[in-house]
Amino acid sequence: MTRTVEVTELALRDGHQSLLATRMALEDMVAACEDIDQAGYWSVECWGGATYDSCIRFLNEDPWERLRTFRKLLPNSRLQMLLRAQNLLGYRHYEDTVVDRFVDKSAENGMDVFRVFDALNDVRNLRRALTAVKRTGKHAEGTICYTTSPLHTVGAFVDMALQLRDLGCDSICIKDMAALLKPQPAYDLVRGIKEKCGEDTIVHVHVHSTTGVTLVSLMKAIEAGADIVDTAISSLSLGPGHNPTEALVEMLEGTGYETRLDKERLVKIKEHFAAVRPRYAEFESKFIGVESQIFESQIPGGMISNMESQLKQQGAGDRVKDVMEEVPRVRKDAGYPPLVTPSSQIVGTQAVFNVLMGRYKSLTGEFADLMLGYYGETIGSRDPEVVKAAYEHAKKEPITGRPADLLKPEWDELRKQALALDGCNGSDEDVLTFAMFPQVAPKFFGQRSQGPKNLSKSPTPATSAAAPSSDGKAPVSSRVEYKVKIGDKSHNVIVEPA
Amino acid sequence: MTRTVEVTELALRDGHQSLLATRMALEDMVAACEDIDQAGYWSVECWGGATYDSCIRFLNEDPWERLRTFRKLLPNSRLQMLLRAQNLLGYRHYEDTVVDRFVDKSAENGMDVFRVFDALNDVRNLRRALTAVKRTGKHAEGTICYTTSPLHTVGAFVDMALQLRDLGCDSICIKDMAALLKPQPAYDLVRGIKEKCGEDTIVHVHVHSTTGVTLVSLMKAIEAGADIVDTAISSLSLGPGHNPTEALVEMLEGTGYETRLDKERLVKIKEHFAAVRPRYAEFESKFIGVESQIFESQIPGGMISNMESQLKQQGAGDRVKDVMEEVPRVRKDAGYPPLVTPSSQIVGTQAVFNVLMGRYKSLTGEFADLMLGYYGETIGSRDPEVVKAAYEHAKKEPITGRPADLLKPEWDELRKQALALDGCNGSDEDVLTFAMFPQVAPKFFGQRSQGPKNLSKSPTPATSAAAPSSDGKAPVSSRVEYKVKIGDKSHNVIVEPA
């Protein structure tokens, strides 16, 4: 009589991405892999845009080598990745055959489940990547980015689910990156998908815990028939991260639902990451509580800290509140895109510009592209005045077609440029690294042979609460008074922050 | 069609008790009171054993003055307290007329809702206090301490609820101090009480958040008909504390249940405590995640840290795990008492003794009393061998009656002793302070005139992670190097931990 609920473990990707600025070195995950592999998860999320970026930018790790290592260490597990559809793991649209190659190479190196999303929920942007995954025989998961707006009704999301089903997706993911999915909408949405797409449609629910309500949403999603839910082991959970895996297991006791997870393995995984996490204290998200005001602002936690640092750089750190109020307006003008990479950055940066320089007095190139349709279609219509401003800024006509249709074949050129770089090994994998991260790849190729750099082992004590200053010495963080004796004389010494 | 769910705000009592070692000064609560008073809570919990103790032990605050201040500042709110029944706010049983006087004085000073619990769930111990509350015309809430054991079935708890109803309780509280109440049992228990005691029986649910599942339990309790639930404002929530008030409000959207709470007021209350909390960083609970292993050990979070410090004092800090395994055994031998003050301390200390000295080789006086019935009846029978050991230790016969029946009138003697103390003002309130805290009261009376001592304003910077040393000065916690200029000469100064 009991129904099994399957679980995806997020610790190896979104867990440390959300809590430790994606800085965890592969070395610090290896010892947990056997327990993860044996615990009974449906899949193990372990790869995505931010981890790839962090590998080459900060950790001097080859992300493909990381993937192959996971493949070896998790022989019984489905490996899962998050793929930005036509953007791959980068920030622009790639031509279709580049998308195909990336998917082929990822599958070849061991990826099993491809969670494919588009920041605008434009299904045309999802098609090529999903088709490529299907061709490899791997699991193609079509993704609905969950957000709230007057237009984002359950009916609208269910329509998108139907389109994803018609593309042949093996499962449908509801991805709630900002923890906006409340219990009743979670229930209604899962039920709606099951009723319209068929009860045998696999529904996979991904929620963050930022607002504090989403474990309840998982309960309701499960009651509505959700098949798989995403959680992170407790020692890498909560705050802007995810609900704790162990809490999910315990929550279901006696409800008629159960996971297949082995509690003893979970304890070991928990203890592993509890031991590792403090080493990354300097990267730790400062926000560890619950933030319900996100329901009003619709701004994901990570986006707020980005905007704060942008504002501080401009000497306008006191205008965070103005920007938080501007974001929903910019989002409305842009036709209510969900706020997720890259739309979150594009909308957030434009909101900062609007506050500092006046509304749409200055536009970023990316925002102009968004307004002109170069990222795809949004659910709502875009404000004509702002579209006009974008046209004047970018000197480009608005488009209504699939953005990637405008792109010419680019693989050969990308390959030529990559191969010209010192340290490039000539593989398709290296070409893809260059294609997605053209600024970072040259330096990475050049120093790759030095091997991985584990930031938790840097000379700065990772447990220090103070951020290291640029010279590596701890700054004075508050006024301290000392009595100092030099020779026979005693002095009162006051040290204050510079 | 929507049912209103009422809410008790815990920030002023259990919130800071669970997260900041009960150290918050009244002064740091005052500015939030108007918003709390206007937010639409059913009641405001603001008084109890630990806050009373902390007032006189650490804060040099008269707890009765605190109560009167709350009464003035929260004119529209029900003030709520937690009362240890026959133990009042102390650690022993008091003679009935002392119980009466305490309740009378509390009501007179402004208390509205008395949540009355007994650590053993022995209804005979609850009777006098509940009757006294009824006589004052105030709200008498009978409490079931929730715990798990082979004997703690829904049926057994519902039987207790029936007894509480028959005592004339105005409401029944399910008190889950260790966050053991999972969603399905929460549903079954509330439903069971409603069905057996009548649908109009007011059920009030108190859960901690330690294990991470209890917001879901509140959802299920509400679905089963719970009338009032306890939460704490988000900035004083989570970890060993409680679920965030704002998360409860948001969670209910669209479910057919709603609170009466004013979200704008909640933001203000949140911001107030977010600003205050860091000043108490040195008292902050170190544990802020989720701890699911409590479901196995049944040991509340606060109890673990107590046992750890006991073990460290004995130079046996490495035996925590042994003690955690011993606690459930001791609890079984004692007839499965819930673990809550004072039974948690009594069982925990005996478990430490067992591990360090051999099982029941040495008994504490309190544990012997527990085994001999001097705290009341437990749900299970007590192990005869251990009862025998207790008898040999304490040289007292086991009892089966209500413990307080053995007590002789004691008010006149307590009054005489209290009045003999320097600084005692002769009021019944002072006599009660002496009665409940005979060791602490003399010092408190002596220094009361110096006025409250706000620990968040001590010379030690409260944001320092280091614990204050006994002389109140902050110790140097790591090596620091400074360049210090005195007159024209520059010196390198090194300050190292002593």
Q: How far apart are CA A349 and CA A471, in angstroms?
A: 30
pLDDT reading at B306 higher than 90: no
Is residue A23 within 8 A of residue A16, CB to CB? The reply is yes
Question: Which chain A residues contact residue B267 at CB under 8 A?
Answer: 293
Q: Is B390 left (phi over 0), alpha (psi -120 to 50) or beta?
A: alpha
Computed over every residue of chain A, the mean pLDDT equals 91
Q: For strand A79-83 and strand A43-47, is the pairing parallel, antiparallel, or unpaired?
A: parallel
Over range B266-285, report the average pLDDT. 93
The H-or-E segment that residue B272 falls in is: helix B263-276
The CA-CA-CA angle for residues A300, A338, A306, to 5°, reads: 35
Window A:459-488, CB contacts with B under 8 Å: 465, 474, 478, 482, 484, 486
ipTM: 0.88
B213 shares contact with chain A (CB less than 8 Å): yes
Q: How far apart are CA A422 and CA A430, in angstroms?
A: 12
Task: Give me the pLDDT at residue B290, please.
Answer: 81
How does B376-407 read in b/e, with b if 16+ C-beta sit within 10 Å? bbbbbebbeebbebbeebbeeeeeeebbbeeb
Task: Give me the pLDDT at residue A205, please.
Answer: 98
Task: Give me the pLDDT at residue A117, please.
Answer: 98
pLDDT reading at A496 higher than 90: no
Helices (H) and strands (E) in chain B, counts: 21, 12
* Top-confidence residue, A304 or B346: B346
Q: Using CB atoms, pick whichever of A182, A216, A250 lies closest to residue B292.
A: A250
> Of A84, A103, A92, A125, nearest to A405 (Cα)?
A125
Provide the token pair at A399.
């488009």
pLDDT reading at B36 higher than 50: yes
Q: How far is CA B130 from CA A134, A390, B117, B165, B198, in A?
A: 68, 71, 10, 11, 20
* Residue of B1, B5, B154, B216 to mutate when probing chain A, most A C-beta within 10 A: B216
pLDDT reading at A150 higher than 80: yes
Task: Give me the pLDDT at residue A465, please.
Answer: 37
Only one residue has tokens 């228990």, namely B189
Q: CA B71, B74, B75, B76 torsion: positive or negative?
A: negative
Question: Which chain A residues contact residue B288 at CB under 8 A?
Answer: 288
Q: Using CB atoms, pick whichever of B182, B238, B288 lies closest to residue A251.
A: B182
pLDDT reading at A459 higher than 80: no
Task: Give me the pLDDT at residue B459, please.
Answer: 52
Question: Which chain B residues contact residue A493 at CB under 8 A?
Answer: 482, 484, 486, 493
Q: How far apart are CA B364 and CA B368, in angstroms?
A: 6
* Top-confidence residue, B305 or A345: A345
Q: How far apart are CA B114 and CA B141, in angstroms?
A: 6
Question: Which chain A residues contact residue B480 at CB under 8 A?
Answer: 474
Task: Give me the pLDDT at residue B324, please.
Answer: 87
pLDDT reading at B125 higher than 60: yes
Q: How far is CA A90 from CA A19, A325, B224, in A?
A: 21, 29, 48
Computed over every residue of chain B, the mean pLDDT equals 91
Q: How far apart are CA B169 and CA B142, in angstroms?
A: 6
Q: How far apart are CA A458 and CA A151, in angstroms?
A: 48
Of A408-412, A494-498, B263-267, B486-490, the poorest mean pLDDT is in: A494-498
Residues 6+ apart with CB under 8 A from B268: B32, B35
Confidence of residue A186 (pLDDT cuts 50, 70, 90): very high
Q: For strand A6-9 and strand A3-4, is the pairing parallel, antiparallel, or unpaired?
A: unpaired
Give per-residue pLDDT as tens, A15-65.
Answer: 999 999 999 999 999 999 999 999 999 999 999 999 999 999 999 999 999
B253 shares contact with chain A (CB less than 8 Å): yes
Q: Which residue of B has its CA nearest to A254?
A: B184
Phi, psi of B253 (to 5 degrees): -55, 125
Give per-residue pLDDT as tens, A398-452.
Answer: 999 999 999 999 999 999 999 999 999 999 999 999 999 999 999 999 999 999 9
Task: Give me the pLDDT at residue B481, please.
Answer: 47
Q: How far apart are CA B141 and CA B201, in angstroms?
A: 11
B251 shares contact with chain A (CB less than 8 Å): yes
A76 shares contact with chain B (CB less than 8 Å): no
> Of B298, B366, B299, nearest to B91 (Cα)?
B366
Give per-residue pLDDT as tens, A286-298.
Answer: 666 788 888 887 7
Confidence of residue A487 (pLDDT cuts 50, 70, 90): very low
Give per-residue pLDDT as tens, A113-139.
Answer: 999 999 999 999 999 999 999 999 999
Whether the pTM exceeds 0.95: the reply is no
Provide the token pair at B195.
């069905």
CA A370 to chain centre: 20
Q: Report the residue count for chain A.
A: 498
Question: Which chain B residues contact residue A234 at CB under 8 A?
Answer: 212, 289-292
Give per-residue pLDDT as tens, A236-279.
Answer: 999 889 999 999 999 999 999 999 999 999 999 999 999 999 99
Question: Which chain A residues contact residue B152 at CB under 8 A?
Answer: none
Confidence of residue B495 (pLDDT cuts 50, 70, 90): very low
**Helices A320-333 and A343-357: angle between axes, nearest 10 degrees:** 120
Over range B283-291, report the average pLDDT. 76
A234 shares contact with chain B (CB less than 8 Å): yes
Confidence of residue B193 (pLDDT cuts 50, 70, 90): very high
Q: Using CB atoms, pick whichever of A185, A219, A266 lies closest to residue B183.
A: A219
B309 shares contact with chain A (CB less than 8 Å): no
Task: Give me the pLDDT at residue A495, please.
Answer: 42
